[in-house]
């Protein structure tokens, strides 16, 4: 087959996984479904993404979705090459095509595609087998400039769950999520009723009976939890990621028991991650918030992979959806063995509310805080944060003292906000019938998602992309109203200071003060 006429897809270059071990070739007869992401008919303006105006799914599709002519052209050419079009969605700009690898090579091809094994990021003591591509992708010339991203050929695990377990003897203190709602003064008289929170999971499942047992312990009715399986993803308990799944659901259910949760299970791959976020954001009804506790170092994503997710987060902002993302659990290096500073993506996207972590000492009986500092237990167990190497600094973050990274133009600072994340002062949850103490910024993303829906309930409208409002009034050395500033501790390369810092952002929430501030806007 002559594939010399295929043209390079910008931003698609991908390196081999550092720990990959080859297990053989990928058979030409293997059936694969890939996702094609198409250009917008018109670029979406920052003013719309950042609010306060919002638009509906239908309005977004008509103004900023894919052009129907582009979709028709892509579908027609795929079918002419013997491929099956399994989905075409103008709003999310996704066209899914399926066929054998031999058929797919006529429209999209990698420099190299092999089967390999790599460590499972959700449990590195086991290996997972998957397809791995290297080099650039090449696509049909008629797709050049129309198709801006292709995912699915390489299905390596893309993200890590940002969860930390601690042995019981090492725990200083622990809290139920209900305790933390009181300590952080979540708005009284609210429980998230009438709102939906999307929860992104790239593995694991919901063990039978755990939710009923956990919420019975708390004296709270079991919240409504619906499951959506995206692509080949499945609700499959018995996986190392079960702890992540249950932490997310139990934190949200305890702090916003009236909210409906929709848990999106997808394959842990660039394709699965992006498809899960788009499916959640464009769901009916539109969610008030989405919680994401998974991520990976920015440099371990392709440029197209970052762009696809960032665009989905822009769609979320335009429709009034607040996306809360864990900032990482490995300090300023984000797990780079060389110690070089990195931020975690998608938390580093300016469209994400990046959620960092603290060490909290408080009395649950009185909700009195004796001390709160940056979470850093050494050996890479620390709140993620720093300065993005990939995203420019948004205007709303320009005057808070974000340091310039490596002499570059001003870049996005991470995180934006924080809450308790240290497993030594962790969250009491139930997993497989066992009480556990768990931490990590994985707990902070669902906490902030729950706070968001309770604020939205009190205000009577969704909040969308919160950052421009949250940063209003911030200045070097000054955190705005609605936050308790965290000024002690470090994450390695960055130390806490008064005002915004790359450890805990603007600080931890004072929910009632934040409600009063938002009500006055």
Q: Which of 442, 479, 485, 501 is catalytic?
A: 442
The CATH code that applies to domain 160-519 is 3.40.50.200
Segment 356-365, tens digit of pLDDT? 999 999 999 9
Number of neighbouring beta carbons within 10 Å of residue 39: 15
Domains of the chain: which residue ranges? 7-151, 160-519
- Please confirm, yes or no, whether 244 is among the known catalytic residues: yes
Question: 133 by DSSP, 3-state: which?
Answer: strand
Helix (H, G, I), strand (E, B) or coil at 331: helix
Q: How far is 155 from 133, CA to CA, in rounded Å?
A: 9
Instruction: Return d(Cα 315, Cα 519) in angstroms, integer.
Output: 25
Helix (H, G, I), strand (E, B) or coil at 206: coil
Between CA 111 and CA 350 the distance in angstroms is 32
- Assess whether 291 carries a catalytic annotation: no
Q: Exposed, middle or buried: residue 75 (CB in 10 Å: 0-12, 13-18, 19+)?
A: middle
CB 445 within 8 A of CB 324: yes
What pLDDT shows up at residue 164? 87
Instruction: Indicate the DSSP class of residue 170.
Output: G
Is the pLDDT at 322 greater than 90? The verdict is yes
Supply angle C-alpha 328, 450, 332, rounded to 5: 15
Report pTM.
0.96
Residue 405 has pLDDT above 50, yes or no: yes
Give the active site residue among 248, 329, 344, 485: 248
Q: Which residues contact 386 (CB under 8 A, 6 or more apart)?
A: 332, 334, 341, 342, 343, 405, 413, 414, 491, 493, 494, 502
The mean pLDDT value of the chain amounts to 96
The verdict on whether 217 is a catalytic residue reads no
- pLDDT tens column, 10-42: 999 999 999 999 999 999 999 999 999 999 999
50, 120, 210, 244: the active-site residue: 244
pLDDT in tens, 150-194: 999 999 999 999 988 876 556 678 999 999 999 999 999 999 999
**Whole-angstrom distance between the N-terminal and C-terminal Cα of the chain?**
62
Nearest to 283 by CA among 315, 325, 251, 235: 315
């Amino acid at each position: 087959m002559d594939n010399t006429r295929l043209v390079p897809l910008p931003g698609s270059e991908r390196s081999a996984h550092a720990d990959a071990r080859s297990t053989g070739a990928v058979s030409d007869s293997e059936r694969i479904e890939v996702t094609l992401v198409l250009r917008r008919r018109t670029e979406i303006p920052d003013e719309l993404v950042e609010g306060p105006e919002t638009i509906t799914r239908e309005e977004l599709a008509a103004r900023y979705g894919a052009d129907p002519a582009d979709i028709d052209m892509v579908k027609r050419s795929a079918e002419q090459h013997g491929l099956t079009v399994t989905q075409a969605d103008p709003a999310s700009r996704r066209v899914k095509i399926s066929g054998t690898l031999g058929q797919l090579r006529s429209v999209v091809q990698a420099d190299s595609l092999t089967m390999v094994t790599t460590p499972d990021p959700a449990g590195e003591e086991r290996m997972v087998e998957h397809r791995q591509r290297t080099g650039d992708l090449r696509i049909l010339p008629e797709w050049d400039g129309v198709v801006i991203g292709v995912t699915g050929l390489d299905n390596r695990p893309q993200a890590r769950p940002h969860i930390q377990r601690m042995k019981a003897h090492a725990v200083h203190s622990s809290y139920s999520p209900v305790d933390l709602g009181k300590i952080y003064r979540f708005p009284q008289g609210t429980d998230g009723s009438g709102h939906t929170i999307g929860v992104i999971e790239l593995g694991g499942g919901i063990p039978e009976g755990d939710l009923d047992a956990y919420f019975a312990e708390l004296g709270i009715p079991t919240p409504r939890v619906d499951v959506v399986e995206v692509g080949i993803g499945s609700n499959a308990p018995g996986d190392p990621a079960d702890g992540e799944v249950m932490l997310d659901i139990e934190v949200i259910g305890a702090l916003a028991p009236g909210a409906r949760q929709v848990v999106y299970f997808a394959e842990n791959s660039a394709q699965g991650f992006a498809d899960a976020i788009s499916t959640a954001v464009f769901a009916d009804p539109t969610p008030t918030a989405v919680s994401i506790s998974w991520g990976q170092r920015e440099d371990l994503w392709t440029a197209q992979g970052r762009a696809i997710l960032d665009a989905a987060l822009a769609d979320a902002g335009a429709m009034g959806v607040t996306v809360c993302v864990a900032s990482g659990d490995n300090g300023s290096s984000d797990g780079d063995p060389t110690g070089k500073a990195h931020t975690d993506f998608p938390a580093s996207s300016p469209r994400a509310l990046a959620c960092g972590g603290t060490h909290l000492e408080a009395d649950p009986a009185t909700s009195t805080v004796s001390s709160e500092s940056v979470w850093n237990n050494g050996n890479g167990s620390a709140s993620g944060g720093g300065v993005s190497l990939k995203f420019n600094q948004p205007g709303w973050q320009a005057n808070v003292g974000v340091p310039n990274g490596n002499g570059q133009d001003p870049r996005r600072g991470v995180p934006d906000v924080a809450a308790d994340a240290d497993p030594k002062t962790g969250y009491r949850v139930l997993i497989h019938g066992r009480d556990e103490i768990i931490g990590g910024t994985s707990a902070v993303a669902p906490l902030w998602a729950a706070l968001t829906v309770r604020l939205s309930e009190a205000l009577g409208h969704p909040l969308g992309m919160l950052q421009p409002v949250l940063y209003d009034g911030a200045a070097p050395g000054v955190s705005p109203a609605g936050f308790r500033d965290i000024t002690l501790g470090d994450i390695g390369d960055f130390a806490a200071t008064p005002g915004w810092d790359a450890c805990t952002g603007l600080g931890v929430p004072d929910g009632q003060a934040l409600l009063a501030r938002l009500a006055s806007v």
